[in-house]
Amino acid sequence: MTAAVLITGTSSGIGRATARRLAGHPGLTVYATARRAESMTDLAGAGVRTLALDVTDEKSMRAAVALVEAEHGAVGALVNNAGYGEYGTIEEADLDSVRRQFETNVFGLARMTQLVLPSMRAAGRGRIVNVGSMGGRLVFPAGGYYHASKYAVEALTDALRFETASFGIKVSLIEPGLIRTGFGATAAHTLAGSAAPSGPYAALNAAADEKMARSYRSTLLSAPPEAVAKVIEDAVTAIRPRTRYLVTPAAKVLVHTRRLLGARAFDAYLRRQGWGAE
């Protein structure tokens, strides 16, 4: 059983739900982090340690890891949860915004991993849990850059799992489907700001916006963040955690549908589902 659990991106959604769930485990000290410590005052009241941590700032990341290592010798489990969706078509999306997304979703995750590994190797044990997405295994229109960041997390996790196994470090990937957090609203906002309403992709963007809004409202297609927190709990505490956890029944159906149909047939499936004109 690990002792110190460091979670990134706990100001809301999956990260917050995970911090609350793990806080109830005896023997675990949970460190919840976000850019603004004041956004986590309720977690502090629930017995969770809170730290300011920005996964795009080197000094901030080093300070948080150093504090946990000073108190526990090593980070027992790192949950790389910080991330968001920057939506827009490949042609129209602002690349500076895309770069910022990759700094959080990919390079922040990678750097946090690099920082905790030396002490984990020295201890001969550790857990790294990367929160990816079903969007790392299939792609929806107007989300290519977000999906690219999650495909990158898939690749990094697969390599990391093999590289660190001999040091007693277990690595798991969490692949949530649609989760009812602020993610959908953020994605819709970036999509709306990525192109002019009368642009060449106006119809596609409108269809994507409508589909996202409807899907996130559906209790059949989406799930609350607590569903992901329960899975992360298993990845952190199980003796033999799984390498991958695909979360929500709808996500499992979509991922396997994409695998079985292939690219052209899946494109046709998306069109029939209302994701844009022929």
User: What residues act catalytically?
Assistant: 146
* Residue 272 backbone phi and psi in degrees, to 5: -65, -25
CA nearest neighbour of 107 among 142, 166, 158, 61: 61
Cα maximum dimension of the chain: 58
Cα atoms in the 13 Å half-sphere on the side-chain side of 63: 13
* Whole-angstrom distance, CA of residue 68 vs CA of residue 2: 13
Instruction: For the chain, report the end-to-end CA distance as a whole number of angstroms.
Output: 53
CA nearest neighbour of 84 among 214, 191, 159: 191
Degrees to nearest 5, angle at CA 91 with 90 and 97? 65
- What's at 244, amino acid-wise? R
Helix axes 58-72, 109-123, angle to 10 degrees: 20
* Whole-angstrom distance, CA of residue 263 vs CA of residue 259: 9
Give the alpha-carbon dihedral of 56, 164, 243, 230, to 10 degrees.
-60
Structure tokens given for 86: 């920057």
Collapsed DSSP state (helix, strand, coil) of residue 263:
helix
* Whole-angstrom distance, CA of residue 156 vs CA of residue 103: 14
